Structure 1
Amino acid sequence: MGAMTNVERAMSALRQMIFAGELTPGSDHLETELAERLGMSRTPVREAALMLQAQGLVEMRPRRGIRISPVSAQDMSDIYDILTELESLAAARAAEAGYSDTDLETLAKAIADMDAALDADDLRAWADADDRFHRELVRLGRNARLSMIVSVMRDQVRRARATTLFIRPKPAKSNADHRIVLQAIADGDVSRAHDTHHAHRRAARDMLVALLDKHQFHGL
């Protein structure tokens, strides 16, 4: 039982490091190095890496260790297409729900935090607040299945964004879009909530895919 717990711990820690961008796409790591970083032996790290390989996150290479799989521009484009439709549906449903200002406080707080982060030039804080905005938007859509599908894909989006966060244009327009969506939900304007969010996600997809295409970290 104990060994299984270690494998789970290793897998969870490695996933977190991959999605936070600490282990960068295309980089190579020895099992011993990762085991040392995680403070455990090589065996659970190897087991965890095999599981992550099955999920397409890493590649095990004989004598070269573990390679963190690059984020493909095509993957990101496909994922964003689905996210765009589902999140826009959630925005429309939220606008139909007749929420009060109190119900929308978490959404408003995420936008305020995004503004503050931009003013402070803190892109990590901005990305964190942006994540919270999108999670809360989906929650307000009140569709459990939709939430489940979106959460599976959000990991991959976080990973692509960690890769591109410091080479993308400053996301001022993103904050403005979010504010319009919040207002549309508060006003019960279903089509405006849906269409504004849809255009916002489509623009984000185009920007991210272009960046991944241009900086595909081929040589790493």
Structure 2
Amino acid sequence: MVSAKASRVDDAYARLKADILHARIPPGHVATEPEIALRMGMSRTPIRETLIRLEAEGLVELIPRRGARILPISASAMREIYDILTSLEPDAAARVALARHSAETLQPLHDATSDMEAALERGDLDAWAEADERFHRQLMALTGNRRLQQIVAQLNDQAHRARIITVRLREPPVRSTVEHRAILDALLAGDGPLTRTLFREHRERAAQELLAILENLRLTQL
């Protein structure tokens, strides 16, 4: 049975992490524990434990006697993250394809792709970003490798912040949506090599697009 304290920590963690990932608390923002506790309507104890967890995930930096800083999003950090994702995800996706899962098992990926297409059609970029993140998370879940899922999820959390902030600074993600549909088709066909190629190309293109925007933002702030 989950204790009341653990439940409060889990609640604080989920809520504060969501605020960070969706940029409701901007990168670089510094707040004390009492300020965060007031924002969350909680005591300081679950907030302190939450911040320790978020620091381990690379989302905040604990500052002695000052509280916590939401880590900024830098082009160099995103380059490292996408290098790792591009190394891990395509091979993992290829293994999922070679496992020849049924259409029913792959249905969550179909749903996520359809949700991306529908969100793009109505211009809802927040819903598009959520469906995009869901596609990648559910695909990694099909590997059955929990350690891989944890590593990729942590990196994707950091990349998700950057996508949320930059999604309105670029052209509508039509190409990315088309790429997800092509990856899904390759998965349904059980074509491992094609899935690997398409996924790698998707990650490499997305990285180049994101890094270009982050570099431009950095230059305009100088």
1:120 Cα deviation from its structure 2 partner? 0.6
Alpha-carbon deviations, 1:32-66, whole Å to 9, x = none? 43222111245654564466456543345578664
Paired residues, number = 219
1:160 alignment partner, one of 151, 159, 162:
162
Between the two proteins, what is the percent identity of the paired residues? 44
User: Is residue 101 of structure 1 aligned with residue 136 of structure 2?
Assistant: no
- One-letter code aligned to 2:189: D
Q: Which residue of 2 aligns with 1:69?
A: 71
- Residues of 2 paired with 1:198 and 1:57: CA distance? 26
Q: Which of these residues, 173, 176, 180, is aligned with residue 174 of structure 1?
A: 176
The DSSP-based 3-state class of the residue aligned with 1:166 is helix
Match of 2:199, SS state, is helix
Q: d(CA) in 1 for partners of 2:111 and 2:75?
A: 32
Distance apart, 1:182 and its partner CA: 1.2
Equivalent positions of 1:6-45 (< 5 A) are 9-42=11-44, 44-45=46-47
Q: Quick check: 1:112 aligned with 2:94?
A: no
Q: Distance in 2 between matches of 1:26 and 1:217?
A: 17
Q: Which runs of 5+ in 1 are unaligned?
A: none
Range 148-157 or range 9-18, more displaced: 9-18
Stretch moving more, 139-148 or 124-133: 139-148
The corresponding residue for 1:201 is 203
Residues 115-134 of structure 1 mapped to structure 2, 5 A cutoff: 115-134=117-136
Shifted more, 139-148 versus 105-114: the winner is 139-148
C-alpha contact (below 8 Å) 1:87/1:137 kept by paired residues: no
The one-letter amino acid paired with 1:29 is: A
Deviates more, 1:206-215 or 1:172-181: 206-215
Counterpart residue identity of residue 33, structure 1: E
User: AA paired with 2:174?
Assistant: A
Inter-CA distance 65–188: structure 2 relative to 1 (3 Å threshold): closer
8 Å CA contact retained: 2:57, 2:154: no
Across the aligned residues of Structure 1 and Structure 2, the Cα RMSD in angstroms comes to 2.8
Query: Relative contact order (C-alpha < 8 Å, sep 6+): which is higher?
Result: 1
CA 50–146 in structure 1, closer or farther in 2 if over 3 Å, else same: closer
Contact in 2 for aligned 1:93/1:142 (Cα 8 Å): no
Shift of 1:168: 2.6
Aligned 8 A contact 1:25 1:163 in 2:
no
2:182–2:198 CA contact under 8 A, matched in 1: yes
Which residue identity is paired with 2:98? E
